[in-house]
Chain A
Amino acid sequence: MGKNIVVEYATSDEVIKTLENLSKSDKSRLISFAKHRILELQHCNWEDLLSVAIERAIAGTRKWPKNISFLKFMGGCIRSIASEVHRQEKERKSAGIFSENNFYIENDSDSEGIIDSVLEDVPNQEDELISKERFGELESFFENDEDAFNVLYAKEEGHSPLEIQAMLNINKTQYATILKRISRKLPNLHKKGAAA
């Protein structure tokens, strides 16, 4: 006796209208999402990732369900596309055809973003090594920021937010502040000689 839930999706024009009317803060949020995701990638910049996400949202190859916010939808798109790019980077690397400037993303087969691409993209040994190195880079970068370093280290160890707060004797607000600080400083991660 279940109800059939009908999901209403935004049209391309509605997506365009939303994009055109985005507030400055929301544009910044989307930029942050893209900047965060390139941590997982080796040969991609935030502009390209964001560009593909916007393209697909407008074209409808990624459909925006109207019952979720545009930001959450775009965050999901960016996440999913980053995972797709990561998969392609791996494939091209193993085929020996990847070049520094070669950002190309193939046809999108997951139009509603329902499949959790991260889980589908089964990490291999190299993925694990690269991700571990990324944590190492982050920890080095934040070595002068004790709180940020500790949070990163605890994350790498697989601790949950509640566990981390208990371990570091911080509350939820303090924990959130640390993450925000990490997010703000991340763009400087790969600048030469940079530290947080």
Chain B
Amino acid sequence: MNSPKKYRLLLSEFIDSLDDQILDSSDNEIIENSNESEISKFDEIAKKQIVAYRKNQRQVARREYLSIIQDATTNVLSLPNEMKRKLELLSTFFQNNNNVPTEFTMAFREGKDLSENDIDSLLQDLIELGLLNKKDLGTDK
């Protein structure tokens, strides 16, 4: 009746049938035959894998964060120390660039009483937008 037996396949199919019976068994039947120490072992295994996964996720997130920080710091260019120099920079920049977003030009024109922090912030925004570069800033520290 049978072609040469394939024991490996037969064993696998036998195991499949055991699995099917487990799936078909009622919860009560399963619980009656369950083993508390094995259930505890299962919980331990699952917890270990969940913790390992979460730890890995945190490490990935941390690496991404550090990468962003690094990119941000490499883009920070040294601003001039003197307020006068900073104002000159901005003034020159706005004279030479017609396409600057209006919120920047207005902030500058209206901000005669702009604090140094405000000026620095404007300059940093222009740097981050790529509108000011090292060459524009000169070699002043």
- Which A positions have Cβ atoms within 8 angstroms of B? 12, 16, 19-20, 22-25, 27-33, 36-37, 39-40, 47, 50-51, 54-55, 58-59, 71-72, 75, 79, 118, 123, 127-132, 134-135, 152, 155-158, 161, 176, 179-180, 182-184, 186
Whether B49 pairs with A51 at a CB distance below 8 angstroms is: yes
In the bound complex, what is the Cα–Cα distance between A155 and B17 (angstroms)?
10
Whether A24 pairs with B31 at a CB distance below 8 angstroms is: yes
Q: B62 to chain A: which residues have CB within 8 Å?
A: none
B21 at the binding interface (Cβ < 8 Å): yes
Whether A155 pairs with B10 at a CB distance below 8 angstroms is: yes
With beta carbons under 8 angstroms apart, the residue of B7, B12, B21, B45 that contacts A128 is B7
Q: Which residue of A lies closest to B50 (CB)?
A: A16
- Contacts A16-B50, A29-B23 hold; do A179 and B18 have CB atoms under 8 A apart? yes
Q: A123 to chain B: which residues have CB within 8 Å?
A: 6-9
Whether A30 pairs with B42 at a CB distance below 8 angstroms is: yes
B53 at the binding interface (Cβ < 8 Å): yes
Q: B31 to chain A: which residues have CB within 8 Å?
A: 24-25, 28
Q: A24 to chain B: which residues have CB within 8 Å?
A: 31, 34, 39
Give 4 A-B pairs besides A29-B23, A79-B19 with Cβ atoms closer than 8 angstroms: A28-B30, A51-B49, A58-B49, A118-B12
Q: B27 to chain A: which residues have CB within 8 Å?
A: 23, 25
With beta carbons under 8 angstroms apart, the residue of B11, B14, B15, B39 that contacts A28 is B39
Whether A51 pairs with B15 at a CB distance below 8 angstroms is: no
- Contacts A36-B18, A128-B6 hold; do A47 and B45 have CB atoms under 8 A apart? yes
Whether A58 pairs with B53 at a CB distance below 8 angstroms is: yes
Interchain residue pairs with CB less than 8 A apart (6):
A12-B53, A40-B8, A127-B7, A180-B22, A180-B29, A182-B18
Q: A71 to chain B: which residues have CB within 8 Å?
A: 23
- Contacts A23-B27, A135-B11, A158-B2 hold; do A75 and B42 have CB atoms under 8 A apart? no
Q: B22 to chain A: which residues have CB within 8 Å?
A: 29, 32-33, 36, 180, 183
